[in-house]
Structure 1
Amino acid sequence: MPIAALDDKGQVLVDEQYRALNRSRTEKAEVNTHPIQALEHNRRQNLELLRSKRAAVATERLKPEDAKKRKEERKRTSADPKVLETELFKLFARQPSWPFAQLQAETQQPGPHLKSVLETIAAQHKAGPNRGQWSLKKEYLVGS
């Protein structure tokens, strides 16, 4: 027996069994499966205390004064270009090619300043085994 059929006027006739099935599904869907639970006064205070402790720990970790100090410590001051050139020549005497990050760590100079001085005395390798590293230009190499 079909669940739904059309009558003489084209209206849909629905089986009583199908109606009961839909009604039970709807009633089941309307039931709240996650009831709201009211907290007792003590439990609410404990949760607030826990939340405040977490907030205190988080603020201890990220105190603005400490962040400013750390930022100041990480700042690098630009050296005189001639002094920096001398320091770079000493580094290139130790090792023929350097990655930029290592040069910056050795000289403790800001990136843009170091790069501008480097471009005058060194060339960056674009390909090959030393790709991305800097080495002295030919006019600065000893014995050329």
Structure 2
Amino acid sequence: MTDASRAVYTLRNSALKRNFFKLIWHSRPDTPFGLKHERTYAKRSPNGWLVRHMFVAGKKYTRSAIIYLSDSEGAWNPEPGEVKWERVAIESNPNFALITSRMEVPGGWLVSELLSTISSAPEAATADVSLAYVDDENHAWDIW
């Protein structure tokens, strides 16, 4: 990289908004970065929110998913400690772990699924995160 291109790169990155998303939930707040944990972030956007959910397991296995949540009324104002994920299903065997969770949001639920494959060779293991929105205005979804 030349000095001129480095200057342009630095200028562009310094103009980027740092901490664009706000951390609203953390599975293990006192966990060092390298240990497995989950985080959820939110950012107000026109008529709603962008919500990002991350699974962090060191640099190699960090995964995230993002979803738009409609909220034109401004009914949701997520603050750390006020929102939570509820575990609804955990499946596992020697080859994988599958964790499904839900979070109450205006008009329904956010559903998160974490799939982590297990391998005797660490470099062969994988992880994936997905998010979905379930419309349920009265939050009547009884999973039990």
Do Structure 1 and Structure 2 share a fold, with TM-score over 0.5? no
Q: TM-score range by the shorter chain?
A: under 0.3
Q: Name whichever structure is richer in helix by fraction.
A: 1
Of structures 1 and 2, the larger Rg is shown by 1
Q: Name whichever structure is richer in strand by fraction.
A: 2
Q: TM-score, normalised by structure 1?
A: 0.26
